[in-house]
Amino acid sequence: MNERDSEDVAYKLKEKGYEIVSDEKIADVVLLNTCSVREQAELKAIGKAGHLLRSQNKNTRPIVGVMGCMAQNRGADLFDHLPDLDLVVGTQKFHRVPQYVDSLIDRVGDIPKRIVAIEDEEGSESEIKDHLDTEIDNPTAFVSIMQGCNMNCSFCIVPKTRGKERYRTIESIVEECRELADRGIREVTLLGQIVNAYGRGSLRKINNKTPFVQLLESIDKIDGLERIRFTSPHPISFGEDLINCYKTIPSLCEYVHLPMQSGSDRILKLMNRPYSRQRYLEIAMKLREVNPKMRLSTDIIVGFPDETENDFELTKSAFEEVNFEMAFIFKYSERKGTPAVSFNNHVPREVKEQRNQVLLSLLEKQSLKSNNLSIGKRFQILVESKAKRGVGKLMGRTRCNRKVIYDGENCEIGQMFNVQISSATPTTLFGEKI
Ligand code: 5AD
């Protein structure tokens, strides 16, 4: 989501005549788009901003701004850590960034010294984002379909930084996807904090299908768009109608990232996640049943307050039972202003670390096993870019979201091919074009 927001801000700046440079060392303005989900992300951003502000003398250094969730979360308090910071822009004010940058550049002497823009503008036009930069020529694109989150997971800062749910209309999203397809984009990833709850309480169900399913069906009909993905869904809105889409919607890719957070009902309750371990396992099983090629990934938090060894064992066994092929495993991080901060029995750092390691090695084992099963098989890939390493190597993704490295020409980026897999690591497949 941050990548998508950054693209949008960059586009708005370009519209105003600014130029995006490839190296921050030659930039006149550096804007950091930030995340608040874990403390580590905030510390990293503060460290980076501090470095930029100190790296050159006061008159020649770039204008430095912090945008996004940390800006929204901390506001002017950021000056305690970064007294020379020029600009603080919250999540509701991205669209005004060019105006703020203009006035910082035009400042006479020291006036205006700093700009802090973090008030809410809920429901304003600022949410509508369908002006993608036509100069970006990736074969894939992110499309934000909603903003905000109405859930109240007790660990999570997002409802505070991103506000209440606001939905775009189906027509506006479909229109954006159609424009993208016309520009040659083959794959879209629909984005939302709770993406499958899109339209709840605001748009109607039709033939018992949720607005999200209606949206998927409409996007599927767009000519030239080969693949649809979405992230991140929530188990509470993963009904039969959505599960069935993996049978009925050809462009919907057989890959689901479905955050589980914990496999213990007691911890899920403390997290204020309104589903049970059983319900989660049932969704995962049905998804694998509907399409045997399905690949599943998840988010897990280890060391949530009061998580006992027994609770952790339940997470571990659910992780094995679903047989996740990919996962993001997080150590619980206290976020000021969230309910969990005041819960009892916080878990010591070493225990979190140890549980993290246990799940990471389980993940490595499971993903290697799954990738090894692909050796000798054929997959359709969409070629996304040059591979990070290796001359003449390109990187594409299978529908089930596995990276495949193969030998090819740069002009193949954006095309789709069948490849045969010859070897594998836990994270990557290697193959040949056939
Ligand atoms: N501590 C650790 N992980 C967190 N996440 C959200 N809040 C926290 C927190 N306070 C994780 C969840 C979520 C992912 C985006 O970040 O697993 O799904």
CATH number assigned to the domain comprising residue 72: 3.40.50.12160
- Is there an atom of ligand 1 within 6 Å of 301 CB? yes
State the pLDDT at residue 432.
Answer: 97
Task: Report whether pLDDT(57) > 90.
Answer: no
State the pLDDT at residue 63.
Answer: 93
CA distance 352 to 330: 9
Contacts of 320 (CB under 8 A, 6+ apart): 362, 366
Contacts of 130 (CB under 8 A, 6+ apart): 172, 175, 176, 179
Considering the domain architecture, whether residues 23 and 52 belong to the same structural domain is answered as yes
Considering the domain architecture, whether residues 344 and 385 belong to the same structural domain is answered as no
Considering the domain architecture, whether residues 67 and 81 belong to the same structural domain is answered as yes
Give 142 Cα–ligand 1 centroid separation in angstroms. Answer: 21
Contact assessment for residue 32 and residue 63, using Cβ atoms and an 8 Å cutoff? no
Considering the domain architecture, whether residues 202 and 316 belong to the same structural domain is answered as yes
Contacts for 102-107: CB closer than 8 Å, 24+ residues apart: 102/16, 104/29, 104/63, 105/28, 105/29, 105/63
* Mean pLDDT value of segment 134-138: 76
> pLDDT averaged over the chain?
94
Sign of CA dihedral 370, 375, 376, 378: positive
Out of 41-55, 95-109, 234-248, 380-394, pick the least confident. Answer: 95-109
Domains of the chain: total: 3
Last residue of one domain, picked from the residues 348, 372, 396: 372
Q: Is 102 helix (H, G, I), strand (E, B) or coil?
A: helix
State the pLDDT at residue 110.
Answer: 55
- Is there an atom of ligand 1 within 6 Å of 155 CB? yes
Instruction: Give the nearest ligand 1 atom to 335 CA.
Output: 10
Question: Over the stretch 319-376, which tens digit does the pLDDT of each residue have?
Answer: 999 999 999 999 999 999 999 999 999 999 999 999 999 999 999 999 999 999 999 9
- In this structure, the residue with its CA closest to atom 9 of ligand 1 is 333
State the pLDDT at residue 130.
Answer: 62
Better-scored residue on pLDDT, 128 or 388: 388
Task: Report whether pLDDT(221) > 50.
Answer: yes
Considering the domain architecture, whether residues 404 and 421 belong to the same structural domain is answered as yes
Considering the domain architecture, whether residues 408 and 271 belong to the same structural domain is answered as no
- Is there an atom of ligand 1 within 6 Å of 257 CB? no
Question: Over the stretch 391-412, which tens digit does the pLDDT of each residue have?
Answer: 999 999 999 999 999 999 999 9
State the pLDDT at residue 129.
Answer: 59
Instruction: Give the nearest ligand 1 atom to 232 CA.
Output: 18
Last residue of one domain, picked from the residues 75, 92, 117: 117
Considering the domain architecture, whether residues 41 and 142 belong to the same structural domain is answered as no
Sign of CA dihedral 187, 188, 189, 195: negative
Contacts of 64 (CB under 8 A, 6+ apart): 29, 30, 31, 32, 49, 52, 53, 84, 85, 86, 87
Question: Over the stretch 235-270, which tens digit does the pLDDT of each residue have?
Answer: 999 999 999 999 999 999 999 999 999 999 999 999
* Mean pLDDT value of segment 83-89: 95
- Is there an atom of ligand 1 within 6 Å of 259 CB? yes
Q: What is the CATH number of the domain that holds 406?
A: 2.40.50.140
- Is there an atom of ligand 1 within 6 Å of 156 CB? yes
* Mean pLDDT value of segment 269-277: 98
Q: How confident is the model at residue 111 (pLDDT cuts 50, 70, 90)?
A: low
Neighbour tally for 59: CB within 10 Å? 5
Task: Report whether pLDDT(109) > 90.
Answer: no
Last residue of one domain, picked from the residues 117, 142, 167: 117
Q: How confident is the model at residue 107 (pLDDT cuts 50, 70, 90)?
A: confident
Domain with 281 in it: 124-372
Give 117 Cα–ligand 1 centroid separation in angstroms. Answer: 26
Out of 50-59, 136-145, 285-294, pick the least confident. Answer: 50-59
Give 36 Cα–ligand 1 centroid separation in angstroms. Answer: 10
Question: Over the stretch 166-211, which tens digit does the pLDDT of each residue have?
Answer: 999 999 999 999 999 999 999 999 999 999 999 999 999 999 999 9
Considering the domain architecture, whether residues 325 and 427 belong to the same structural domain is answered as no
Task: Report whether pLDDT(291) > 90.
Answer: yes
Task: Report whether pLDDT(212) > 50.
Answer: yes
Give 332 Cα–ligand 1 centroid separation in angstroms. Answer: 7
Q: How confident is the model at residue 113 (pLDDT cuts 50, 70, 90)?
A: confident
CA distance 367 to 402: 10
Q: What is the CATH number of the domain that holds 299?
A: 3.80.30.20
What residue ranges in 156-310 does DSSP mark as E strands? 166-167, 187-191, 227-231, 255-257, 295-302
Out of 14-23, 76-85, 119-128, pick the least confident. Answer: 119-128
Task: Report whether pLDDT(125) > 50.
Answer: no
State the pLDDT at residue 121.
Answer: 59
CA distance 190 to 144: 6
State the pLDDT at residue 131.
Answer: 57
CA distance 414 to 402: 16
Considering the domain architecture, whether residues 395 and 417 belong to the same structural domain is answered as yes
Considering the domain architecture, whether residues 128 and 113 belong to the same structural domain is answered as no
Considering the domain architecture, whether residues 197 and 270 belong to the same structural domain is answered as yes
What residue ranges in 240-324 does DSSP mark as E strands? 255-257, 295-302
Considering the domain architecture, whether residues 353 and 226 belong to the same structural domain is answered as yes
**Mutation test residue for ligand 1: of 1, 154, 156, 341, the one with most atoms within 8 Å of CB:** 156
